[in-house]
């Protein structure tokens, strides 16, 4: 695990309201699974912006890509992320591509962002056939390698805390995040 200062020197916790922690990282990094577990351990609510987009549009993420295309999905995702950052007090998991939006990245500078780092190879194993991840159906390994190359600088830009998930199981990742979140109270 590696903890590092994020986009702001005074600590993202300067945001007076909003999520306890916001999870970013590539598909398969564990944002949804780990986020839910961290929220349960902290006794706070969990929210996932993919689920918000699905309920806002009344269809699965996969179907949004199929019926309307990626650009439409990104606009819906951006709106869902900005809403959740403003109003959700618990743990928030973003979709892996949310950081592609400069406005989202700027807003994330005010929050406690946890970046779950993952290799393309581990991510490919975790997402399997990726039927519910439309960007990956062409071939998860190739696609994940390309996504990670393009996005790693963006995840690092917004992160206050980075957890390398390579050698960690889900419980270990949850424990690492809880230690970092507890440590921030002293800053």
Ligand X SMILES: O=C(O)C1=C[C@@H](OP(=O)(O)O)[C@@H](O)[C@H](O)C1
Q: In the complex with ligand ADP, which residue's Cβ is closer, 86 or 170?
A: 170
Q: How many residues does the chain have?
A: 187
Question: Is residue 165 near ligand ADP by the rule CB under 6 A?
Answer: yes
103 is in an annotated binding site: no
Binding site for Mg ion (CB under 5 A): 31-32
Q: HSE-up of 69 (CA within 13 Å, CB side)?
A: 2
Question: Is residue 52 near ligand X by the rule CB under 6 A?
Answer: no
- Candidates 6, 30, 90, 97: give the one binding ligand ADP (CB under 6 A): 30
Residue recorded with tokens 């939006």 = 101
**Residue nearest ligand X, Cβ-based:** 95
- Candidates 80, 159, 173, 181: give the one binding ligand ADP (CB under 6 A): 173
Total binding residues for ligand X by CB under 6 A? 11
Instruction: Mark the segment that binds ligand ADP (CB under 6 A) among 21-29, 79-87, 150-158, 178-186.
Output: 21-29
Residues found near ligand X in the complex (CB under 6 A): 27, 31-32, 50, 61, 95-97, 133-135
């Amino acid at each position: 695990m590696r903890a590092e200062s994020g986009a702001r020197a005074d600590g993202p916790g300067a945001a007076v309201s909003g999520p306890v922690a916001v999870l970013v990282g590539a598909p398969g990094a564990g944002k949804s699974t780990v986020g839910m577990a961290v929220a349960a351990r902290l006794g706070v609510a969990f929210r996932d912006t993919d689920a918000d987009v699905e309920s806002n549009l009344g269809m699965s993420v996969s179907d949004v890509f199929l019926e309307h295309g990626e650009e439409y999905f990104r606009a819906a995702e951006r709106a869902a992320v900005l809403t959740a950052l403003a109003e959700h007090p618990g743990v928030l998991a973003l979709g892996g591509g949310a950081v592609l939006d400069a406005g989202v990245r700027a807003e994330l500078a005010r929050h406690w962002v946890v970046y779950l780092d993952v290799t393309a190879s581990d991510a490919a194993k975790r997402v399997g056939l990726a039927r519910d991840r439309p960007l990956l159906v062409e071939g998860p390994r190739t696609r994940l390698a390309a996504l990670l190359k393009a996005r790693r600088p963006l995840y690092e830009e917004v992160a206050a805390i980075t957890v390398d998930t390579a050698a960690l199981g889900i419980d270990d990742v949850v424990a690492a995040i809880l230690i970092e979140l507890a440590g921030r109270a002293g800053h």
